């Protein structure tokens, strides 16, 4: 019986697909083992999990144990206590602020905004920088000149100053801050780094082999260049989260945002009411949100640094030598 050529092609394609996925899973497992070898990265991952736990537990507590009239982060007020702010107690583990709001409830609710701002900014920045830098490095010519000219302009635009100026004209929402910050980062230095990485990949042997085999530019870019940019995109995404959360917190502290609960707005309320009271609880309304911002950004920074040591060949070689 004569074998069917179509079945042979289908079988070989399926075998190639399975082998590629197996190789990717093997590489993923190797990268995870390398990441686990970095204590700082695991500490950062543990802190991120802790803040995720805060985000998940808060609505559960509000629907089960905590009374909304007391623990709601916006309108909650403990009428039993005559004076606010208060020091930490069994009923209020982190105390209350000058407005009578429970600080722990506000802190847990604020984690939602920090993750929303950070992740939205990271996705925006990575998508823009990967496409702009990748196309500029792969295509070259007039596309490279135009795209890199735009990047040169955006490098000169500091995100914080731009957002502060916009905040004086209009009240910024968390999603507008996230998108604008992501655009400024993605079209700035990140796209230039991606272009350099694309140029390095473009000269690899497997890219030339794909061209000789008849692969189109579209096929090579989306099947060989973009997958190779994923490690760099991960590092950029993690570092973008740090900058976005710090920027949003500062804008909230300067009252340049809409009235939504964040760690920066908690510091702003504590700052505005700090000298109104003499009950000893003022510091409890300032230290927890400030520590949360520091630990949250430190967590992503530690993960980003450890990821960079894994994906960056030069840093990996230095670790092997040492």
Q: What whole-number distance in Å separates Cα of residue 232 and Cα of residue 236?
A: 6
pLDDT band at 256 (very low <50, low <70, confident <90, very high): confident
Closest CA to 235 of 164, 301, 144: 301
| 96 DSSP assignment | B
Structure tokens at 133: 């830098």
- What is the tens place of the pLDDT at every residue in 89-138? 888 888 888 778 888 999 999 999 999 999 999 999 999 999 999 999 88
Going from the C-alpha of 102 to that of each of 74, 78, 110, 263, the distances in angstroms are 9, 8, 12, 13
Q: How far is CA 141 from CA 136, 137, 145, 220, 276, in A?
A: 8, 9, 7, 18, 63
| Residue 283: per-residue pLDDT | 75
pLDDT digits (tens, 9 = 90+) for 271-304: 777 666 655 556 777 889 999 999 999 999 999 8
On the question of pLDDT at 221 being above 60, the answer is: yes
- From residue 229, alpha-carbon distances to 81, 177, 187, 200, 242 in Å are 56, 26, 16, 11, 21
Q: What is the pLDDT of residues 30-62, one digit of tens each?
A: 777 888 888 888 999 999 999 999 999 999 999
Instruction: Report the percentage of the chain scoring pLDDT > 70.
Output: 86
Mean pLDDT of the region 163-170:
86
* pTM, full prediction: 0.84
Residue 315 has pLDDT above 60, yes or no: no
Q: Hey, which CATH number is domain 120-270+279-322, 2.60.40, 1.10.3720, 2.60.120, 1.25.40?
A: 1.10.3720
Interval 254-263 mean pLDDT: 80
In the structure, what pLDDT confidence band is assigned to residue 244 with cuts at 50, 70 and 90? very high
Nearest Cα to Cα of residue 58 among 89, 120, 103: 103
Asked if residues 106 and 261 have their Cβ atoms less than 8 Å apart, the reply is yes
Task: Tell me the pLDDT of the chain averaged across its residues.
Answer: 83
């Amino acid at each position: 019986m004569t074998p069917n050529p179509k079945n042979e092609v289908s079988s070989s394609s399926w075998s190639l697909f399975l082998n590629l996925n197996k190789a990717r899973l093997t590489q993923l497992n190797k990268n995870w083992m390398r990441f686990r070898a970095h204590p700082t990265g695991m500490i950062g991952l543990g802190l991120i999990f802790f803040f995720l736990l805060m985000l998940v537990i808060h609505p559960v507590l509000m629907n089960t144990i905590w009374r909304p009239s007391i623990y709601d982060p916006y309108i909650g007020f403990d009428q039993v206590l005559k004076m606010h702010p208060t020091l930490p107690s069994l009923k209020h583990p982190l105390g209350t602020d000058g407005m009578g709001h429970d600080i722990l409830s506000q802190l847990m609710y604020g984690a939602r905004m920090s993750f929303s701002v950070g992740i939205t900014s990271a996705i925006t920045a990575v998508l823009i920088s990967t496409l702009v830098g990748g196309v500029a490095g792969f295509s070259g010519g007039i596309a490279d000149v135009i795209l890199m000219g735009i990047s040169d302009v955006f490098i000169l635009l500091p995100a914080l100053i731009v957002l502060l100026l916009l905040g004086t004209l209009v009240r910024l929402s968390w999603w507008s801050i996230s998108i604008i910050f992501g655009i400024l980062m993605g079209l700035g230095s990140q796209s230039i780094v991606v272009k350099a990485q694309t140029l390095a990949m473009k000269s690899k042997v497997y890219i030339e082999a794909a061209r000789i085999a008849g692969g189109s530019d579209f096929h090579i870019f989306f099947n060989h260049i973009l997958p190779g940019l994923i490690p760099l995109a991960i590092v950029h995404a993690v570092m973008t989260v740090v900058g976005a959360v710090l920027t949003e917190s500062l804008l909230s502290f300067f009252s340049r945002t809409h009235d939504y609960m964040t760690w920066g707005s908690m510091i702003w309320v504590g700052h505005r009411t700090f000298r109104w009271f003499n009950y000893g609880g003022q510091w409890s309304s300032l230290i927890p949100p400030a520590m949360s911002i520091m630990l949250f950004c430190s967590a992503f920074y530690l993960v980003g640094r450890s990821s960079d040591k894994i994906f960056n060949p030069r840093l990996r070689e230095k670790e092997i030598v040492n």
